[in-house]
Amino acid sequence: MEPMKFSLTGAVVITQCIASIAFGQTSRPATQPARAIDLQRLQQVDQVINDAIAAGKCPSAVLLVGQGDEIVYRKAYGLRAVEPEKAPASADTIYDLASLTKAIATAPSIMILVDEGKVNVADKVAKYIPEFAANGKADITIEQLLIHCGGLIPDNAMSDYEDGPAEAWKDICALKPTWKPGTHFAYSDLGFIVLGKIVEKVSGQPLDVFAHQHLFAPLGMSHTCFNPPESWRALCAPTLRRNGQWAPGEVHDPRSYALGGAAGHAGLFSTADDLSKYCRMLLHGGTLDGVRIFKESTYQQMIQPRALPNHAGSRGYGFDINTGYSGPRGDRFERGSTFGHTGFTGTSFWVDPVHQCYVILLTNSVHPTGAGNVIQLRHDVGTVAGEALLGSLPTTEPAANKPHNPGGG
């Protein structure tokens, strides 16, 4: 990829647990006509991001804002690498997406299998992986894992991964649930590791191969994959040292790394432009440029809000909708009809299918020391972009919409 160049004055402007028994709507919600974008307001995001970089919240960022099939704002900020040598970020910088893997690879792969009639989200995981039923996990369903209500702990001990992937899987199957399935919301990497294994068991292909063949290649996401090849490394934003060495393109998440760099919860790398194609596919209800990824009814299953137990909010299948992780929504995008996800390395995206727009923010906030934090930045970027796309609210959103950090993704 050739690095995209930007003027000094601005961006490139190119001219968007189980509480529901029935899925409700069977077609996309009526979309609203695209309104004129307030470009002056949108450009104020430059100061927001540059201030965060100056404050040490992240070394670099790439922002992409889309409306319909148009990219309306795309810009790179800061240094993608601070150590061992300084290197500027560019629009084609490849970032470790961390937990965006759940929403961009694992959940849609499960839903493709649903489309093919090979999986039913109401099924118990043990139907496909009998050994998973051990120690009280026999009743956990695929749907419960998709919305983080399966009763599994967020992460199991790193010692479970010391003897390789095969032994790690045996240790996962031996775990006991921490909560009764369906009664407690706990954001769980472990649950999505299991979902990735379901894709492998049912399809006969590892998750990375299945996702490439059924998602990334059909969508033209040519710089999205697990375990980026050596030829991509010069454009990869580094995260932290491993064994004293910088390794751009090597997954940051320790469990994904121990599993070979490709797992259901983390490991995917991509660019803002590639994620834009994924978001556009969602805006079109599961299809892009004549290529259908899954049925529109399946897409509706994915984005349908499902109320979480104990008033924890709502999630879709692989998407956050309205929980403590919804910071990228900012103060302007609506609760309930918009969705997205965040990643531990400093990545996020948020989609508004009603107003046909989306916001992608990629950073490597864990570089170089792990001390960065973009929770507030995500919220502020979502607010500015939302107001530019949808217009300002007459009053501010209630405090419940302000960002906080519940931990995880």
Q: Which two tokens stand for residue 138?
A: 């026999």
Asked if pLDDT for residue 230 goes beyond 80, the answer is yes
Q: What is the pLDDT of residue 2?
A: 32
Residue 7 confidence (pLDDT) above 60? no
176-210 pLDDT, tens digit each: 999 999 999 999 999 999 999 999 999 999 999 99
Q: How confident is the model at residue 31 (pLDDT cuts 50, 70, 90)?
A: confident
For residues 272-279, average pLDDT? 98
Categorize the per-residue pLDDT at 13 as very low, low, confident or very high, splitting at 50, 70 and 90.
very low
Domains in the chain, CATH or no CATH each: 39-393 (3.40.710.10)
Contact 97, 343 (CB under 8 A): yes
Q: What is the pLDDT of residue 408?
A: 55
**pLDDT surpassing 70 at residue 28:** no
| Tens-place pLDDT, residues 292-333 | 999 999 999 999 999 999 999 999 999 999 999 999 999 999
Section 2-18 average pLDDT? 32
Mean pLDDT across 363-375: 97
Torsions phi, psi of 199, nearest 5? -55, -45
DSSP H stretches of helix in 249-357: 254-258, 272-283, 296-303
Task: Convert the pLDDT of each residue in 244-256 to its tens digit.
Answer: 999 999 999 999 9
- Span 327-343, average pLDDT: 97
- The pLDDT assigned to 405 comes to 52
Q: Which long-range contacts (CB under 8 A, 24 or more apart) does 311-316 make?
A: 312/185, 313/185, 315/147, 315/148, 315/185, 316/147
Q: Does 82 have pLDDT greater than 90?
A: yes
Q: Are 58 and 371 in contact (CB under 8 A)?
A: no
pLDDT (0 to 100) of residue 393: 65
* Mean model confidence pLDDT for the chain: 90
Q: How many CB atoms lie within 10 A of CB 36?
A: 8
Q: What percent of the chain has pLDDT over 90?
A: 86
Rg (alpha carbons) of the chain, rounded to whole number: 20
Find the range with the poorest average confidence among 3-7, 71-75, 380-384.
Answer: 3-7
